[in-house]
Amino acid sequence: MVMHIPLIRFSWEALALVWLFGVLHTKPTLRTADLRLRIASIATLLLGFFLIVSDWAPSWLVMRGPLLGDPALQVTGETLTLVGCAFAIWARLALGGNWSGRPTIKAGHELVVSGPYKLARHPIYTGLLVAVIGTTLADLQWRRVIGAAMITVALLLKMRQEERLMIEAFPDLYPQYQRRVKALIPGMF
């Protein structure tokens, strides 16, 4: 269904390719967040993304909302997915070797505050959430709404873990950055 919409499929595939190639160019990890929290976060994210992009689900989760098929909603969803994935890719590239799929401190970790990091402290999460909302809107089903909620909760938990690690690694600089730049939504949150 939703992955049959070419623009949405392209957006998620481009993001996946950048992530896969990026894994090869990261710095060694020095410290990471608690294993139990990481496992819970990863499991929640994977299930959430499965519900968002997969065409398989129990019939009670496939029930469609009354707005399904609305062309304006589909175009809005496609646009948000493209913009969100592009923003997440930009943020991932700006982060460079400091990136990790889990909250970590890398060897030679640098506090990146330029590019998309001038707009939000967690622009990868901002982009992912915008893309998830877009994908959900493009093919409005209960499973996608539940998946979007799961992804949001998992990213908020990861964000808290990352904030703690950044404060430990940059005790003087990070609190100043927190006061200057919002976490996810520029100027708001």
Mean pLDDT by 10 residues, the chain (189 residues): 82 95 90 84 92 78 67 93 98 95 93 97 98 93 91 95 95 97 91
18 within domain boundaries = no
32 within domain boundaries = yes
pTM higher than 0.75: yes
186 within domain boundaries = no
**Domain around 150:** 2-11+28-180
Q: Could you give the CA distance from residue 11 to residue 79 in angstroms, rounded to a whole number? A: 10
CATH number where 143 lies: 1.20.120.1630
188 within domain boundaries = no
**Long-range CB contacts for residues 184-187, cutoff 8 Å, separation at least 24:** 184/120, 184/121, 184/122, 184/125, 184/126, 184/129, 184/159, 185/120, 185/126, 186/119, 186/120
Number of helices followed by number of strands (H, E) in the chain: 7, 2
* The predicted structure's pLDDT at residue 58: 73
Q: What is the count of structural domains for the chain? A: 1
* The predicted structure's pLDDT at residue 63: 67
* The predicted structure's pLDDT at residue 1: 56
* The predicted structure's pLDDT at residue 132: 97
16 within domain boundaries = no
132 within domain boundaries = yes
106 within domain boundaries = yes
22 within domain boundaries = no
